[in-house]
Structure 1
Amino acid sequence: MSDQRDPAPYDALLLLSFGGPEGPDDVVPFLENVTRGRGIPTERLKEVGQHYFLFGGVSPINDQCRSLLAAIREDLATAGVDLPVHWGNRNWAPYLTDTLREMVRAGHRRIAVLATSAYASYSGCRQYRENLADALATLEAEGLPLPRVDKLRHYFNHPGFVEPMVEGVLASLSELDDAVRAGAHLAFTTHSIPESAADTSGPVEGHGEGGAYVAQHLDVARLIAGAVRERTGVDHPWELVYQSRSGAPHIPWLEPDIGDHLEALHGKGVPAVVMVPIGFVSDHMEVLYDLDTEAMAKAAELGLPVRRSATVGADPRFAAAVRELLLERAAAERGAAPQRCALGALGPSHDLCPVGCCPARAERPAAAGADSPYA
């Protein structure tokens, strides 16, 4: 853990998130932003958006980002780190390009970026970098000075990300009846992605040029299951499973799906399950609908006791982890060799994504990597 308080050379931090609708009239325009270029008809988008309409057309992700933004600002101020923190989204207001424009006009020229995605993958890393490149290209076309943007490393195995999830599992286990608690299985869930995307999701030792997405999630699952075993004395069986698939049926995606997994466990006589959404930073729509609504309905149909543990959200330990990630990167940029916090077998991730990491379907420039045109 770095004890330095100097964020130089950075003069600002940008919280970069996915974005979400904040009312019924926002749902279809938001989905048009998310699916732009795919030619999906409006009527189909209305069908896809039904799970948003169940919650009044409001995704919780923007309010969750506001809470995280406040937590990061409070942590930096308490630690004596003088750095402004801004927020921009890929798909809804406040839009990334607008936020970067405001930051540049305020005089910021060296910006650290924290994405609300902890793992390697095209959709979880490179696509954010592509959006950064798109925003920089817009600023360049407007004649504005271009800032240097550096995306902070993947933080899936940072103690400030892992420890809140451990406590979430312990809390969920405590809610189960005594008769089923010891036999409960842990279902670690994350977003399913195409197998081809998982296979090219960045280098990781022992997995060659790709495979980081699955390897990183497995490492976190082992960490949490191990911590639970140490604190309870019970070795709960566990498996990494997937949710929120959105692709064409003929394209292989990561499996098993959480619904199928619950059916399989029930068929084996498993007495209870705790779903642990390790792939998500906060309780946004894919947690509230796919787990709290659909998966819980499946569990009720089966008569299977199920609990869902908490995501990290705006936990103060996660806010502190953001500060540590920022200061370690700042120290490295100044030529120092900072201590990098990381649990598990994989160690800290790279600062710069290598050339060819998480290749896109179509060649697009991406900022904040070794192949960035805006170095």
Structure 2
Amino acid sequence: MNIRPFKRPQPVRLGVLLLNLGGPEKLADVEPFLRNLFSDPSIIRLPIPALQRPFGWLIARLRRGKSRRLYEKIGGGSPQRRITTEQAAALQDELACQGVQARVYVGMVCWHPLIESTFQQVLQDRITHLVVLPLFPHFSVTTTGAAAKKLIRCFDQHGGVREMRRSYVTHYETEPGYIAALTDLIAEEMRRFPDPRPEAIQLLFSAHSIPTKYVERGDPYLRHHERTIAAVMTALERRLGTRPPHRLSFQSKVGPVRWLEPSTEDTLRRLAGEGHEQVLTVPISFVSEHIETLYELDIQYQALAQEVGIPHFRRVPALNCHRAFIRGLAGLVRARLAAGYPLQATEQAARG
């Protein structure tokens, strides 16, 4: 009779991996960051794959001077890594308060700590259960999809790591904590206008744009933003007794292809032409401060608002470590734990 040796069960080691894009922390990082960004086919795809890497290097070289000047204006680098690390620590503490012991990691698509290096740390820590949580509330192949592909490639290069159970959060555009945090910040900022009446303040939800072709092919990015806005406006109406006027626009377009419109720049000009004097921008796509909020919204669009005749232009802060947002992220993690760890179709799609 063959008797199999007894195997002691592995202790459960829970990990949570926060995924984000990343940004250069100092001016010397700008060009290599741009190379990583423009070389990634999930973010900007060229019809000829062999040209992807040379294209990334060329665009990085052409744009480095302009990009460095922009980062100089916000202090010499992006604070995204620092803030994302703070979000990870806050989430780890929140989970511990709720009785869930987990180590929370940070992995970036285009800058350090890169997903590949964080994955090695996850392996070294012998994590047995991993929840993958992107810091992109709205799914797009250019954001969550790009990050997932890099992570799945890591798993594939290590034979699949089938002993590590994992689950993916793919989007959370109406998660209650996320909506509550946005609503709190909007309501607080509205009180700072000379005329704080809701009907006197134009809300402008500004999202990072993506090429229109992705949406036409089924990317739910635009639909997810519309759901977020609907949920926020309902929450604001409950709080304020009425809905302030609102619009959705898009920023951060890169390259000559057609991107989602209207642009935030064009919308500001239109609002000025309509006589709006109080505009509050809401950076709906961004859960941490970085170049798109600190430069585009706070400097570029602030100057444009003054130029076109909008005297009172304000911006809602990014969520960062807002308590409701962190609690919402903890709720997403606990929901995945309760649902088990199926090897979701996310991985199959990422390999495709």
Between the two structures, name the one with larger relative contact order (CA 8 Å, sep ≥ 6): 1
Whether 2:252 is the aligned partner of 1:244: answer yes
Q: TM-score, normalised by structure 1?
A: 0.80
- Distance (Å, rounded) in 2 between the aligned partners of 1:371 and 1:270: 45
Q: Does 1:69 align with 2:95?
A: no
Shift of 1:39: 3.8
Report the CA distance shift for 1:107/1:181 in structure 2 as closer, same or farther (over 3 A). closer
Distance in structure 1 (CA, Å) of the matches to 2:33 and 2:158: 23
Corresponding pairs, count: 325
- Alpha-carbon deviation of 1:139? 3.9
Contact 1:20–1:59, Cα closer than 8 Å, also in 2: yes
How far residue 150 of structure 1 moved from its aligned partner, in angstroms, is 2.6
Per-residue Cα deviation, 1:149-176 (whole angstroms, up to 9, x for no partner): 4321311110111111111111121111
Match of 1:176 in 2: 193
Secondary structure in 1 aligned to 2:145? helix
Give 1 or 2: higher helix fraction. Answer: 2
Q: Does the alignment pair 1:187 with 2:204?
A: yes
State the partner residue of 2:6: none
Distance in 1, Cα, partners of 2:231 & 2:65: 39
Aligned mates of 2:288, 2:117 — CA distance in 1: 24
CA distance in 1 between counterparts of 2:167 and 2:116 reads: 16
Candidates 268, 274, 278, aligned match of 1:268: 274
* Shift in alpha-carbon separation, 1:114–1:180, aligned structure 2, 3 A: same
CA distance in 2, matches of 1:273, 1:234: 17
State whether structure 2 residue 6 is matched by structure 1 residue 28: no
- Read off the aligned partner of 2:64 and give its amino acid letter: K
In structure 2, which of residues 187, 211, 224 is the aligned counterpart of residue 216 of structure 1? 224
Shift of 1:333: 1.4
Which of structure 1's runs of 4+ aligned residues deviate more than 6 A? 143-146
Task: Specify every segment of 5 or more residues in structure 2 that has no aligned partner in the other structure, as ranges.
Answer: 1-10, 40-52
Unaligned runs of 5+ in 1: 1-7, 201-209, 336-350, 354-367
TM-score (norm 2): 0.85
1:285 is matched with 291
Q: Is the 8 A contact 2:22 2:80 kept in 1?
A: yes
CA contact (8 A) 1:174 1:181 kept: no
- Give the aligned partner of residue 205 of structure 1: none
Query: Percent identity at matched positions?
Result: 28
Aligned CA distance change for structure 1 residues 144 and 328 (closer, same or farther; 3 Å): closer
**Residue 334 of structure 1: CA displacement?**
6.6
Secondary structure of the structure 2 residue equivalent to 1:93: coil
Q: How many angstroms apart in 1 are the aligned matches of 2:157 and 2:98?
A: 35
Q: Amino acid of the residue matched to residue 135 of structure 1? A: C
Matching of residue 47 in structure 1 with residue 65 in structure 2:
yes
Instruction: Indicate conservation of the 8 Å contact 2:280/2:314, yes or no.
Output: yes
Distance change (3 Å), C-alpha of 1:334 and 1:179: closer
Aligned residue identity for 1:216? H
CA distance in 1, matches of 2:163, 2:138: 27
Report the more deviating stretch, 298-307 or 53-62.
Answer: 53-62
Q: CA RMSD in A?
A: 2.5
How many angstroms does 1:254 deviate by? 0.6
| Corresponding letter in the other structure for 2:123 | V
